Amino acid sequence: MEHEFRVGISSESPGLYRYARFYHVDEVIRALENYSFFDGTAAVCSKLRRRNDGFLRNGSRIYICTGGHLEIATPECRDAFEVLKYDKAAELFMQIGVEEANERLRKRLGKQGQGRGRGGRGGSAHVSIQCWKANVEIDKRYSRGTHESYIVKRKKFVGKEGLLVPFLVLRKIFFGAGGFVAEKAGGERGAGRGERGARGGLKYVISPKAMVSKRVLTESPSQWPILSTRDEPLSAKDFYRVHVTSGEGVRSEVTRLLNNALTSYVIDAIECGKITHIEEIWNPLQTFKEISANTNGEGGWRIKLMNRRTESAIDYLNSHYLAAIEELFAERETSYWDKYVLDTFKRLCDKFGQGLLEDPFVVRRLEWVLKWWVLKNELADFEYEERPKGRFDYRSLYKMDEQAEKEIAASFEFTNLGEHDLYEQVADRVGVVRLLTEEELGEALLSPPKGSRAELRVRLAAVPGFEDAALSWNKITINRAPKIKIDMGPPSAEEYMRLFEQYPELGRRPSAVVVFLHESRSGDGRGGRRRQVLVRLLGEEEDIRGWEEEISQEIRSRIARNPYLEYLMCSNNKTYKFDELDGWDEEVIKRKVEEIKKAEKKGREEGEEREGEEREEGEGEEGE
């Protein structure tokens, strides 16, 4: 599961701001990159590549995705309970990153004489970086993703996506994150009678993510579909990744567990042939938004079907999906958490069927209900100081009184992972159900899932000599930078002509530095080929004597920064793949690590041997 976090400065980006500033994302990642735990192990186990892309010590991936959002993707997990552990570990990593970044920020502002003064929580008195696990801004044009990925057998699932879509639409009734979204900029319509949370053009909904979805099925996740059909398994070719792009970031452990577990059961049932036909929902995208707007559950969330019938969403889920899950469980061994998920979901269905949305059993387990209950009953201790309107402030677009402003700000702070974490402030007081122990959280924070592909990645990152390797989900690329050869020989007439056409200023500065670059390949008769970068300097040999290494390093740096020449620095790289998802026990991991080490050692030795032969050939030619 992958989640994009909202990062910003508290004095600049309160909950009512249109969007968070992106330029503090790098500070959080850099803070994590320089952080080491009590055992001396770094938080980031692999070198961060372009877009700050790397892996954490527990096998999770951290990077800046499209749009400048900071994203953490959990490692490969075998079940929903494992996903829950690593999702909560991602929150802890973000908390560490924000705390460390704030420490640096305070030191920097302290030197400048800024950062603290008079005022309250939200003013310039306390400038700090904050992080929110929120997907949608009030303005629906700004959205971040929480994507869920499920691996299936290609032949058993592809072409059956339509059987899953109704479940993804209707599961939001239970597993939405809750939050305020805008109906119309500056307007007051859309807050109909009986709808809870109507605030002058702003409305509290079950699932903010549902309200911004634009497609049902489409290949590109950037089009905000319910389900992406992009074929990118990150595994062997006979597998397929079911990419659910309409997920939401939630803090409730029960909500996260039930959401992912039930979705995996439905996918299993489709794979096994337990679900082969369903009654299609009329206009799934519109239904997605309508049930999310119906926070009172009026009419039992009745939905229209393609056969023109209407049916309660709860009854639809029971007849088409729960029955298949129970049949699936009857034929296979189930864990404690499988039984817990099914039993808890049945009780929630019963409570919703009776209209008991504010029953303590529901409030303590479902995020959107809990959040709404907190906004109505637990805001006495929530400190919110009204401030002057800023440049990107929602109060300039929507009419709201002081109480509405406080509720909307609190809704965002419910997802705050920093010092203003409203969820943790009220969770124990409300009696929110927690499923994870401190030991399980610590294990997920410090180590990848045992016997997983993620454990292999972490082991490879720790191999001496692989520090600069580029790690991906299913491969490692060892960097073998080509040799830089500096040639002081006079350029040919053709080279001179090309140079002076492109750089006429050389006529005025004949001893200027590097201007000519070309690439050569050397064959060794054994089928191997290596690239060598030849750099022609216009100058005298004595001008660079003693500076060869510095000049060579500068050339490497300039080539790496040039998008047209960057490939030269990667031309000799070697990639080793490990597509298998399962079977990575201790013995297999050791064997794979040794296999890659031996292959890399052999490749380097052959490269050095070829370079020696080329050097001897060059010296022989000079002697002649």
Q: Which amino acid is at 71?
A: E
591 is a domain residue: yes
Mean pLDDT of 434-448: 97
23 is a domain residue: no
Domain boundary among 315, 341, 361: 361
pLDDT at 180 over 70: yes
Q: What is the DSSP string of 355-369?
A: T-TT-HHHHTT-HHH
Beta-ladder partners of 533: 484, 519
287 is a domain residue: yes
Give the residue carrying structure tokens 């892996």: 55
Tell me the CA distances in angstroms from 196 to 190, 217, 332, 372, 600, one per residue in order: 12, 31, 43, 9, 63
Question: Could you report the per-residue pLDDT of 565-589, keeping only the tens digit for each?
Answer: 666 667 678 899 999 998 999 999 9
Same domain, 469 and 614: yes
pLDDT at 193 over 90: no
Contact present, 374 and 410 (Cβ < 8 Å): yes
Please state the domain count of the chain: 2
| Range scoring the smallest mean pLDDT among 199-213, 326-340, 390-404, 486-500 | 486-500
Residues 6+ apart with CB under 8 A from 526: 606
Question: What residue numbers bound the domain in which 275 lies?
Answer: 144-361
22 is a domain residue: no
Same domain, 342 and 465: no
CA distance 395 to 296: 26
Same domain, 351 and 468: no
* pLDDT band for position 233 (cuts 50, 70, 90): confident
**130 vs 515: which has the higher pLDDT:** 130
Tell me the CA distances in angstroms from 129 to 16, 168, 331, 461, one per residue in order: 16, 34, 51, 30
Question: Could you report the per-residue pLDDT of 69-97, keeping only the tens digit for each?
Answer: 899 999 999 999 999 999 999 999 999 99
In terms of Cβ atoms closer than 10 Å to its own Cβ (0-12, 13-18, 19+), residue 164 is buried
Domain boundary among 327, 361, 395: 361
Residues 6+ apart with CB under 8 A from 490: none
**39 vs 564: which has the higher pLDDT:** 39
390 is a domain residue: no
Same domain, 189 and 325: yes
Q: What is the pTM of this model?
A: 0.85
498 is a domain residue: yes
DSSP 47: -
Same domain, 467 and 352: no
126 is a domain residue: no
469 is a domain residue: yes
Same domain, 341 and 475: no
| Range scoring the smallest mean pLDDT among 230-239, 481-490, 581-590 | 481-490
Same domain, 483 and 340: no
Same domain, 311 and 170: yes
Mean pLDDT of 382-403: 74
Domain boundary among 316, 335, 361: 361
What pLDDT score does 10 carry?
Answer: 67
Residue 329 token pair: 């469980």
Task: Please give the share of the chain, as a percent, with pLDDT higher than 70.
Answer: 77
**568 vs 351: which has the higher pLDDT:** 351
Q: Which amino acid is at 577?
A: K
